[in-house]
């Protein structure tokens, strides 16, 4: 087994997988994207200059791979043109992954609300709070300035707050309706 792969796997595989999963929200797609990250990393490992930490360098590659995935997905949708969405398709979003479905309600709601954020907001939230990176590390991984990270984080938390309150309100409404019935 390639020693570079082995080392990177031991140190960072879980982080990369987790990061990509929260971005694309599908296990199979995540597996494919992780593979793409490894291919890119192994191809360019010799050129890694150590200007940032290995972890943020890997995450920056993972971020590029994720953005590229979203771009391809968007262009595919544009090519398909306006779809005639059936009733079922509108109503049936992606089901919750098992790991989330077994968590308490707030976590499930948060997972759903996170999806409503912009890609940049999701990147910051995932790196800062789910991956526990510092502002500096997040800025390195995203190739942004620290102030851009802070601003995006601030806006992301603001919209998440709004979405969470909306969702909680909706849930409360439904519970009350059920109890009246």
Partner 1 sequence: MKKFRWNDECLEHTLQQMPMIKDHRSKEEIYQQLIKARKTARWKAWFLPSLISVVAAVSVVAIYAPSLPFTQRPEKSSEKLDRHMITLQAEQPAKESQTLLSAREHDSFLSRIVTKDALNDQDIVVVGIPDQQSQIIIPISVPVKKYEQAAEQLKMAKSQIDEQKWGLSKRLLNGVTIVPSRESNRVWLVRVSKQHPVFSEGSMGESLFLASVEETIRWMGGKKVRFFTEKKEGMAFHHKGYIKEVEIPNKKRAYYLYWSGSTHSVFLVPSPQHVSTFLEALKQMKKDGGGPLRSTVPKGVRIKKVSVQNDHVVIQFTEDSKLNGLPSIQWMMEAILLTAKEFGFRTVTFKGGGVKQIGPYMFGKKIAVPVGPNPITVYASAQ
168 sits near partner 1 (criterion: CB under 8 A): yes
CB of 9 to partner 1, least distance (A): 5
CB of 44 to partner 1, least distance (A): 14
Interface with partner 1 (CB under 8 A), residue from 75, 103, 151, 174: 103
Whole-Å CA distances, 11 to 28, 32, 147, 155, 164: 22, 19, 29, 32, 34
Residue 123, Ramachandran bin (φ over 0: left; ψ between -120 and 50: alpha; else beta): alpha
- Give the contacts of 48 (CB within 8 A, at least 6 positions apart): 54, 57
Binding footprint of partner 1, residue count (CB under 8 A): 55
CB atoms within 10 A of CB 158: 11
Interface with partner 1 (CB under 8 A), residue from 7, 35, 71, 118: 35
Q: Applying CB under 8 A, which residues contact partner 1?
A: 1-2, 5-6, 9, 13-14, 17-18, 21-22, 27-32, 34-35, 38-39, 42, 69, 73, 76, 86, 88-89, 91-97, 99-101, 103, 106-107, 110-111, 125, 129-130, 132, 157, 160-161, 164-165, 168-169, 172
């Amino acid at each position: 087994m390639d020693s570079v792969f082995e080392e990177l796997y031991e140190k960072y595989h879980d982080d990369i997988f987790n990061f990509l999963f929260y971005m694309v929200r599908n296990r199979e797609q995540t597996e494919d994207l992780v593979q793409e990250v490894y291919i890119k990393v192994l191809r360019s490992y010799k050129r890694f200059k150590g200007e940032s930490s290995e972890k943020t360098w890997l995450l920056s590659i993972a971020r590029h791979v994720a953005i590229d995935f979203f771009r391809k997905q968007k262009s595919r949708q544009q090519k398909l043109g306006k779809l005639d969405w059936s009733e079922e398709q509108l109503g049936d979003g992606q089901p919750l992954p098992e790991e989330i479905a077994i968590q308490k309600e707030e976590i499930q709601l948060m997972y759903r609300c996170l999806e409503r954020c912009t890609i940049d907001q999701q990147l910051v939230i995932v790196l800062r709070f789910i991956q526990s990176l510092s502002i500096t590390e997040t800025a390195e991984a995203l190739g942004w300035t620290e102030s851009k990270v802070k601003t995006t984080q601030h806006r992301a938390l603001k919209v998440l707050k709004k979405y969470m309150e909306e969702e909680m309100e909706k849930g409360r409404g439904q519970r009350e309706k059920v109890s009246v019935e």
